Structure 1
């Protein structure tokens, strides 16, 4: 369908929602905006970042927020936390410290090809905790292709196993930290979680989902690895011949320690919220101060579209809260699902997020669904109010079926070594299993 026609129809339906649905006009205003923005995000009739910029415009034009309030969401602490993550990632990548770490993990895993491949997956997941899953996949893909080239007896399913394993490891690894994946940041911002608080939740989910992913891939694809060594040379002398590499490692380690200790430090300093973001900004200052990296390099490395998407998503959350639309939708869902019990409700929410993310940006999907399920959790009261929103946020990183679902999926599919039906077959099974596992774990631990 023509993109201009999609925009026009979305606008007309939004006006119809406001004009004709039987509900409070303020609520209808929020619902109309939600439909309009969600339609543009899901169809990508406009680039998702441009749609995010449209959210504060609509909020101001409809009288929900004034200009200052609408744009203040783009200065939310979580955005600066992610900016700090981009700065650290840029410095690590500049001195090839990410590749050094990957090589070390692979060498430690063992000389057998199968062990090196598993080591590659582990390294990808660990790096993806700190660097965007897109950049991580771009870094690890040449390594994966290098391993494949060393296999003398070419086996297609083995190639698919390695390539999908890299993409899926990047997706799952991103769950571990707030800065690992944009949906984490959207969820943490809505729930008010600190870096260390997210870590205590994200790491367990990552550790549970990662081996399940590897096992599912292995069982379905049945790769055949030759009995040969996988040679991967770690050129430490090339990395650490520059003293600035040591400075980057020191600043990175110092930042992680501060993030882990942010709660006691912020309490001691009398800072109530957002101290993690101050640490992130301080890390950028230190990187530039010690001349490990220039600001222009950080500027070129950072994904400014993602930061703007955060802002738009947070404005949308504010609109739903301010107009009462999130409460209205939560009560509507509660009316139809309350009799199914808390576990089925969690499972339904997680499954909805996973399959929505297959066709829409996971960040945009999180911005749409997290605020609604946060209020729904508060309304139902069967479990901690943040459980639904948190599990939905985690599920946003678990779309494995289509190339368009996540950038890592698209990157490995772009090698033209994987057929769409192969990705869909493995991805569908993994989607269902992850939905069940996330729901069961969330139900048991919350």
Structure 2
């Protein structure tokens, strides 16, 4: 399955169905047990989170937020880049990385084209003309083969990286986060589990530091940051006229959208409700709402699906308030559609990713049942008994390299069950090895094929793979260094038992 995922011999979700066929026939797991792996609580949380994200996209709330933030931070090239990256990162915490990138790329394209039309900046490099004007009459290259300017590359690629880094900030932000949650909670059923509030407290600071140091790196190589006399720095000096043009474009786009509709306000309110339900389910410092209602274990999927149900119940138009009006002309004549419809969900929900997560959980369950991951961990005994920081660093670097060439979720599915067993062999808290490694599966920055956001960003500006590899290698190194610096310290404060070996690992 790992080979099929890497080389994509079959579509990734189809490969993920192999356990359903082979595990029962090979006597590893029966059909019932294998089937249960495909729709765990984690998958239901994934579905709930995605439906909420689709509702935000459906009413175009995300675009309004993006435009207002860009208008707020300013429109000089560096500040505009900062604003675009910030919006993408925070949007990507809640919706899929691919959707966040796909939302931002048209905004960037429109802004750059408008600036170019006004004679401020260039999207593509112009053809050099020699002294004898020999090239003047040469045909212009096809737009598909034009070379983007460094500024253009910085705008596009930083947006893709912001989507990948932003996905780490929230547990529903990325498939690798949910893969980790599913494998960890399945393998260690007596553990406290992965809590939304603790995840946010640990990963949001890491995400912010990673992103803004990476942005400085990208602006340094593409926009001449800290190199005021370089050609790159001179090219982005657009002056007050350029800023005014960019600001005017953003303002016109906001005006085109009109005032905020009831649909957008209702979705924004329910989105806020979902975050509050996730955060206060088990916030540690006070009793969570779930504990006040029932003694049964309530997880984040329940919170997500409360909001999903409300999205299908609350109408998108407020004319229902006039249903008993004395003025007949105000009474609604037809039923209002809900905030989101099932047809939209069917079209936009990436159903294949549910199978991909499920296939990984089935592999993890079979690895545990057949003792395969235990066998691998014992063969890696030499590594497992190294100092725990060294084991974590080796695992993270290995995951970062692998994820440049393979599906992020597939890499997590292959590595995490083995790390769970290595934690047992090395007598280390499983979270210490598994959490940072799962984050590293999102460090796919080096190639357009590494992750969909990279491909979406590279295509419109014809960015060469070599340019992306150069920029992405620096961002990968920055991400790893920030992870190594912050996780052992801040992680130890938030997860107080991180330095110990819990008794529930052996159960």
Instruction: Classify the TM-score, shorter chain.
Output: 0.7 to 0.9
Give the whole-Å Cα distance in 2 for the aligned partners of 1:326 and 1:415.
Answer: 43
**SS of equivalent residue, structure 1 residue 177:** coil
Q: Does residue 179 of structure 1 match 2:166?
A: no
Give the whole-Å Cα distance in 2 for the aligned partners of 1:269 and 1:146.
Answer: 50
The Cα RMSD (Å) is: 1.8
Structure 1 contact 365–396 (Cα < 8 Å) conserved: yes
Give the C-alpha shift of residue 242 in structure 1.
3.1
Give the whole-Å Cα distance in 1 for the aligned partners of 2:297 and 2:433.
Answer: 23
- How many residues align? The count is 408
Structure 2 match to 1:158:
151
Structure 2 match to 1:384:
429
Give the C-alpha shift of residue 146 in structure 1.
2.1
Of residues 260-269 and 65-74 in structure 1, the stretch that sits farther from structure 2 once superposed is 260-269
Structure 2 match to 1:268:
292
Give the whole-Å Cα distance in 1 for the aligned partners of 2:198 and 2:24.
Answer: 34
Q: 2:21 aligns with which of 33, 48, 57?
A: 57
Give the C-alpha shift of residue 443 in structure 1.
3.0
Residues 74-85 of structure 1 aligned to structure 2 (within 5 Å) = 74-85=38-49
Structure 2 contact 384–423 (Cα < 8 Å) conserved: no
Residues 60-99 of structure 1 aligned to structure 2 (within 5 Å) = 60-99=24-63
**SS of equivalent residue, structure 2 residue 410:** helix
Instruction: Determine which structure has more spread, i.e. the larger CA radius of gyration.
Output: 2
Structure 1 match to 2:313:
289
Give the C-alpha shift of residue 249 in structure 1.
1.1
Q: Does residue 245 of structure 1 match 2:264?
A: yes
Give the whole-Å Cα distance in 2 for the aligned partners of 1:412 and 1:141.
Answer: 7
Structure 1 match to 2:398:
352
Structure 1 match to 2:504:
none
Change (3 A) 1:142 1:271: farther
- Report Cα offsets for 1:81-139 as digits up to 9, x if no partner: 11111111111111110001111111111242321221010000000011101011111
TM-score (norm 2): 0.77
Give the C-alpha shift of residue 440 in structure 1.
2.8
Structure 1 residues not aligned, in runs of 5+: 1-36
**SS of equivalent residue, structure 1 residue 306:** helix
Give the whole-Å Cα distance in 2 for the aligned partners of 1:168 and 1:47.
Answer: 25
Q: Does residue 317 of structure 1 match 2:364?
A: yes
**SS of equivalent residue, structure 1 residue 249:** helix
Q: Does residue 204 of structure 1 match 2:205?
A: yes
**SS of equivalent residue, structure 1 residue 235:** helix
Structure 1 contact 77–274 (Cα < 8 Å) conserved: no
Structure 2 residues not aligned, in runs of 5+: 126-148, 185-192, 225-231, 283-287, 315-337, 493-507
Give the C-alpha shift of residue 252 in structure 1.
0.9
User: Which has the larger helix fraction?
Assistant: 1
